[in-house]
A and B are shown apart, each in its own frame.
Chain A
Amino acid sequence: MSIETKRPDLARYAREIMEIAANAGLDFFETRFEMVDFDTMQQIAAYGGFPQRYPHWRFGMEYEKLRKQHVYGLGKIYELVINNDPCYAYLVADNELTDQKLVMAHVYAHCDFFKNNYWFSKTNRKMMDEMANHATRVRKHIDRYGHDNVESFIDLCSTLDNLIDPHSPFMRRQKQPGGGGEERMSDERHANRDTGGFQAKPYMESWINPPEVMRRQREAALKERQASRGRLPEQPLRDVLRFLLDHAPLEDWEADVLSIIREEAYYFAPQGQTKIMNEGWATFWHSRLMTTKILRDEDIITYADHHSGTVAMSPGRLNPYKIGVELFRDIEDRWNRGRFGKEYEECSTMAEMRKWNKDVGLGREKIFEVRRIHNDVTFIDEFLTPEFVDRFRMYHYRYDPATRRMVVVNRDFKKIKQQLLFMLTNHMQPYIYVVDGNYANRGELYLAHKHTGVDLDIKYAVETLRNVQRVWRRPAHLQAMINEEMVLFSFDGEQSQQQKIHEDLPKPAHSL
């Protein structure tokens, strides 16, 4: 129920906080608060923040988990915000007034992030309606094709929903097969475009782009293109769901269901890519706005209690709220004092570095820029400093087979940063590519895992491959490095097998 009708008193605070947030420079979609009881809150949370989703039991499972957490006092949901225009945010009706104010300030910062962060720029801002449409479409299929059929197909597809390419919305779309659109360029023109050389003033051209080298490159590119002609896909493809949609023998309703799942996966992807930043940004602003503008005397204790709970870190665990907010504060401070750039980096003594203050006051501008262009990976890569790691006593840990426990390895900055980046890259999802859609010329699907240091979970991989096969309907294969050996997992619809990859096996169209 809308805040205006249910809690006019809170609505007044919401308007007040909105003004304060806007004056601070936050720029958000119109934000609508809804008041719900905690049970409804859990239901919405189980639906991924939306009031409506297509029918599927896994939402019911999620709901049961949340409910149990609540019973055991393990988790309490204070707020939910939907990336949508207008932005919808849910408040739990029986929370204290101070909590509500805090949550509102937090919400406005989230909205600002949704609206302005580049990685959200391609998301559907009418997702609220779209989700409802998806629900209607799936219900229609259920009425027509039977509950069990549709459900088991959703079961299949939702185990594949991480097989997307989160960067693809930012790339120019591949030619849609048979879809006309972009005219097919000749191989020569492609080859020329791909090897256009570097930009150069005319009088430098022959040195920067030597004709002989250019010719060789063009020939190689042309050969490459001609060789890949007729290969499916033309390039290794990370958007496995797209490939299945285009080429798997799906019924219309199946294609529709799969496209729904793919679309929703793309919608949620940026939230996984910006968890630290998004929460950090919201925490940064609720803390800034609350402590400077919004808090009244009587709020202080409740606020301090709630805020410290939000940013608390238990040993061995990283709290994205805490890391995020501290990084933003650190960036603001560094750019306010001019602690960046060549001169600063080249300080000869630590004392000099510590004292450094140029009073340039660029902090505010910088953090807004950071929230606009970065995602978690680039954020950590760019702004995690040895001083920061030292200040928060971060360490790198690893499983120790001898004691069978996680043990601290060291506090080496490089190692910590590397580990963090690894954990954030592709947000802990393995990279899976389609490398051949007509493997061994038998219409079999060949997927490959790009190994980045960690093996796939074999049991899960075998299970999931079965589901890939069920969508593809022809045998499916997965190539993965397991214990430093290339292994080919296969499922032909009846039995699974795995074998070491050896010379006699047919090669897929592309190698990774």
Chain B
Amino acid sequence: MALKIEKDHQRFRQIVKGKIRKDLRKFLTRGELLGREGERTISIPVRGIEMPHFRYGDNNDAGVGVGDGESGDPVDGQDGDMGPGGTQEGQHILEVEVSLDELADILGDELKLPRIQPKGQHSITSEKDKYSGIRTTGPESLRHFKRTFRAALKRQIMAGLYDPECPIVVPIRRDQRYRSWKTVKKPQSNAVIIYMMDVSGSMGDEQKELVRLEAFWIDAWLRRNYEGIESRYIVHDVRAGEVDRQTFFRIREDGGTKISSAFHLCRQVIETNYDPNEWNIYIFHFSDGDNSSESDSRECCRLIREVLLPKSNMFGYCQVASAYGSGNFINVIHEHLDKVEGVITSRVNTKDDIYDSLKTFFGQGK
């Protein structure tokens, strides 16, 4: 039985993606997506796919049930489940499963992000079979009809058996051609993302939520572009330390801020683990921009220029708005690293800025 539903299903997915794309700005700000981090698919409520019908409204709030209960007792099931009209058409919103890769593609399409050109040597190679060759033996299912025909035609012409008036071509055993595969080694490019975050007293929950959202989408997009990807997480106040992902988003410290501590640690992490010739390195720093001293800020700029930037594809600085502090660090960067390629800054004051921030970071395809 040849069912054709696959096509209908694909078309449906296409429509869903279109809807998501239209509402992308909203999706980018949805905090609950974060609960699903780590899963390969997330379920997204999509509006406006269900087809409208003339139907009864919600003042039809009565029904018949069975079981115990006195007058006035609440009924557990919310609606009387009678007939197809009852339950199904009430769902205005459809939950659709979408994989993170699909979501990243939609993000890339909508933000017009260019695909990233990986740089440098590619360390790990993966093997893949490709049907690119032709052989004279093989299973019938792989027979290459055109080549077979051509071989037969050639043989018949050479043997003088071909009559243009009556162009019958009959392939024989040795005319048969089959597709065959070659194993190709495909270079795989690897990337590491190093996230650094200021966790000093001035970074509140609201700020961290913004960082988490921004990091979620950075992660999704980079994962779409690299096969092998690793993430490292560094937090700092006046000292820096490396932590795991969970801790990174939850930790809360007090005290001052010394951004350069994180940059030093970042440099160590890179030097011990990631050879810039083999890895695409992405460094993101999130902070409210309130550094302890002007001199440390200048030290940071020096580190970025002389140490971090030469090793990495990009240094991204994302400043979230905070009620405390000067928020001056971004200005210092602008001052000292103006028009330095590879340094990208963006401000995220509310969730709505994430959309533009992502565009700023990845707009150049690095």
Contacts and interface: CB of A to CB of B under 8 A. Distances in A.
A253 B96 CA distance: 33
Interface in A383-421: 392-400, 403, 405-410, 416, 419-420
Q: A158, A313, A408 — which one has the most chain B CB atoms within 10 A of its CB?
A: A408
A5 to B, nearest CB: 13
B177 to A, nearest CB: 33
B75 A419 contact: no
Interface in A352-401: 392-400
Contacts of A408: 65, 69-75
Interface in A156-201: 158-163
Contacts, number: 219
Interface in A55-73: 55-61, 63-65, 68
B52 A464 contact: yes
A55 B219 CA distance: 37
Interface string A28-65: 00000010100010011011000110011111110111
Nearest to A449: B54
Interface string B118-149: 00000000000000000000000000000000
Chain A interface extent, by class: 35 or more
Contact of A456 (B5, B57, B97): B57
B80 interface: yes
Interface string B36-73: 00000000000001011111111111111111111111
A393 B69 CA distance: 9
A454 B56 CA distance: 7
B244 interface: no
A406 B63 contact: yes
B46 to A, nearest CB: 10
Interface stretch (B11-19, B151-159, B199-207, B272-280): B11-19
Contact of A407 (B60, B74, B81): B74
B58 A407 contact: no
Interface stretch (A95-103, A108-116, A315-323): A315-323
B66 A57 contact: no
B83 A423 contact: yes
B286 to A, nearest CB: 36
Contacts of A64: 9, 12, 96-97
Contacts of A258: none
A377 to B, nearest CB: 11
Contact of A395 (B1, B13, B66, B74): B66
A461 B76 contact: no
Contacts of A457: 55-58
B4 interface: yes
Contacts of A393: 66-68
Contacts of A320: 82-83
A314 interface: yes
Given A55-B7, A272-B84, A419 B74 contact: no
A432 interface: yes
Nearest to A409: B71
Contacts of B14: 57
B53 to A, nearest CB: 6
A61 B68 CA distance: 38
Interface string B79-95: 11111111000000011
B9 A454 contact: no
B246 interface: no
A138 to B, nearest CB: 11
A458 interface: yes
Q: B7, B54, B67 — which one has the most chain A CB atoms within 10 A of its CB?
A: B54
Given A60-B10, A408-B75, A423-B83, A455 B57 contact: yes
Q: B49, B57, B94 — which one has the most chain A CB atoms within 10 A of its CB?
A: B57
A83 interface: no
A44 B8 CA distance: 13
Nearest to B12: A60
A341 to B, nearest CB: 27
Contacts of B86: 423, 428
Given A315-B69, A320-B82, A456 B51 contact: no
A467 interface: yes
Nearest to A465: B54
B78 interface: yes
Nearest to A461: B54
Contacts of A151: 11
A68 B77 CA distance: 21
A460 B11 contact: no
Contacts of B166: none
Contacts of A432: 54
A51 B1 contact: yes
Contact of A397 (B4, B52, B58, B62): B62
Contacts of A409: 62, 71
B323 interface: no
A4 to B, nearest CB: 15
Contacts of B85: 427-429
B3 A428 contact: no
B62 A159 contact: no
Contacts of A430: 54-56
A56 B8 CA distance: 6
B337 to A, nearest CB: 49
A315 B73 CA distance: 12
B81 A317 contact: yes
Contact of A316 (B12, B49, B77): B77
Nearest to B48: A463
Contact of A51 (B3, B7, B13, B54): B3
Nearest to A151: B11
Contacts of B78: 316, 406
A315 B77 contact: yes
A320 B64 CA distance: 12
B8 A60 contact: yes
Nearest to A36: B1
Contacts of A313: 66-67
Nearest to B88: A65
A478 B53 CA distance: 13
Given A318-B81, A424-B82, A57 B54 contact: no
A427 B53 CA distance: 14
A16 interface: no
A1 interface: yes
Nearest to B95: A68
A94 interface: no
Interface string A444-464: 000001000011111111011
Smallest CB-CB A-B distances: 5 pairs: A428-B85, A399-B61, A316-B77, A60-B12, A60-B8
6 contacts: A51-B3, A57-B14, A58-B51, A315-B66, A428-B85, A460-B53
Given A315-B68, A397-B80, A455-B59, 13 more contacts: A36-B1, A61-B12, A313-B66, A315-B69, A316-B80, A317-B77, A320-B82, A408-B75, A423-B63, A423-B80, A454-B59, A460-B52, A478-B54
